[in-house]
Each structure stands twice: as structure tokens, then as C-alpha cells.
Structure 1
Amino acid sequence: MTLLKLCVLTPNKIVWDSEVEQIILSTNSGQIGILPNHIPIATALDIGLLRLKSNGQWFSIALMGGVARIANNAITILVNDAKIGS
């Protein structure tokens, strides 16, 4: 199974850096789902939740706005602040 390499970064720390099955992002235009082999895009992110599926389990990360770049099954998300949900 093809996976996505997800890296979520703030100015102070690496919040997430591992492979995931899929993600759902809150962009300025609404929510988008990203699966492996997605077309390359760059998008601005709204304040909201990043939902990600890893090892069959869903996780949430609160994002405080930023940008995302998706290309070649790699997702890099740069945000002002982020917190993993409990």
C-alpha cells in the first residue's frame, strides 16, 4: 500500500513526521482530502483541524493557519502553531 509522508512543522518544533494513509485539510477554500498519488498542489490553510489516518486510526491536529505543499506522496505543512488532540 502506498503511503504519504507527512511533516507538520511550526517555527519551534516538529509536530508530526511519519507516514500516513490519508489526510483531510482545512484550507481557505474548504476541506480537501488527500490520498496517495494526489496531484501536486500548494494551498493556504485556515485555522482548523487536520485529520490524519495512520495505521488504521484517525488522529486530529489543531492548526493555526499556514501553508501546505503536496507533491510526490509527500506533504509538508508549515503553520504558526499546532497541537495534537488527545
Structure 2
Amino acid sequence: MKTIKVNIVTPDGPVNESEADMVIASTETGEIGILPDHIAMVAPLQIGALRLIKDNKSLNIAVHGGFIEVRPDVITVLAQHAELASDIDLARAERAAKRAEQELQEKTDKQDMLLAELDLKRAVNRINVHKMN
């Protein structure tokens, strides 16, 4: 089966470089599946899981925003933050979720509430991706 090269990069540097039979990403307009020779496109990513499927095995990555660029032979993910499921510290993610939930209940300023909501989404994403492993 033909594969597609996948590069995941953050401002801190490369997170993963591999090949996949299929990539599933959460974009702003919904979840998309990408196979080799896919038409070229660029889409904004939302906070969610990025799944790289190769030989019926899935590599799960928590992605917190950014963009996915698809070309027929390579996919590049430019993420604000990305973390392999195997690298996620579950206890830390759960503490971050609890802290964000408390902040949501305590804050009254709209901007502070939006920031706490984003913190909660990122923590929940990390927890969910860790559990997918």
C-alpha cells in the first residue's frame, strides 16, 4: 500500500516525522481523512487528536491548533503545540483540567473565562488522546 510522509512541527521544533497509510485530523470545519495522492489543500486545525494510521496501528498526537498542509506526497502539520500520546503525563493533564474548571467557576471577566475555557479544552484533549493509546 502506498504511504504518505507526515511532518509535525511546532515552534519548539519537530515532534514527529513518519509515514502513514492514512491521516485523520480535526479541522475547523470537521474531521478529515487524508490518503496518499490527496488533492493539495491547507486547513486550520482545532484542538483535537491527530491520528496517523500505518499497518492498522494508530499513532495518536494531541494537537492544539495550527494548520495542516496537504500535498499529494507529504502532509505538514504546523501546530502551536503537539504531543505524542505516549509522552503525555496523564496526572498533570488531569490537574490542569481541574485547575481550568475552578478558574471557569471563579472568573467573571469574559477574557479570563475564554482563556480558562481554552486551557480546559487543551487539558481534556491531552487526557482523551492519552486514553486512545
What is the percentage of aligned positions where both structures have the same residue?
Answer: 38
Structure index of larger Rg: 2
Structure 1 residue 41 and structure 2 residue 41: aligned? yes
Task: Determine the C-alpha separation between the residues in 2 that align with 1:37 and 1:54.
Answer: 16
Total equivalences in the alignment: 86
Amino acid corresponding to residue 5 of structure 2 in structure 1? K
Amino acid corresponding to residue 74 of structure 1 in structure 2? V
Q: CA deviation at 1:36?
A: 1.0
Task: Please name the residue that 1:5 is paired with.
Answer: 5
| Structure 1 segments of 4+ aligned residues over 4 angstroms from their partners | none
> Where in structure 1 are there 5+ consecutive unaligned residues?
none
Q: Report matched runs for 1:7-86 at 5 Å.
A: 7-86=7-86
Task: Determine the C-alpha separation between the residues in 2 that align with 1:13 and 1:53.
Answer: 22
Q: CA deviation at 1:60?
A: 0.6
Q: CA deviation at 1:66?
A: 0.2
TM, length-normalised to structure 1 = 0.94
Task: Determine the C-alpha separation between the residues in 1 that align with 2:81 and 2:32.
Answer: 20
TM, length-normalised to structure 2 = 0.62
Instruction: Give the alignment's Cα RMSD to 1 decimal.
Output: 1.0
Amino acid corresponding to residue 58 of structure 2 in structure 1? W
Structure richer in strand, relative to its length: 1
Structure richer in helix, relative to its length: 2
Bigger relative contact order, structure 1 or 2 (CA pairs below 8 A, ≥6 apart): 1
Task: Please name the residue that 2:101 is paired with.
Answer: none
User: SS at 2:42's partner residue?
Assistant: strand
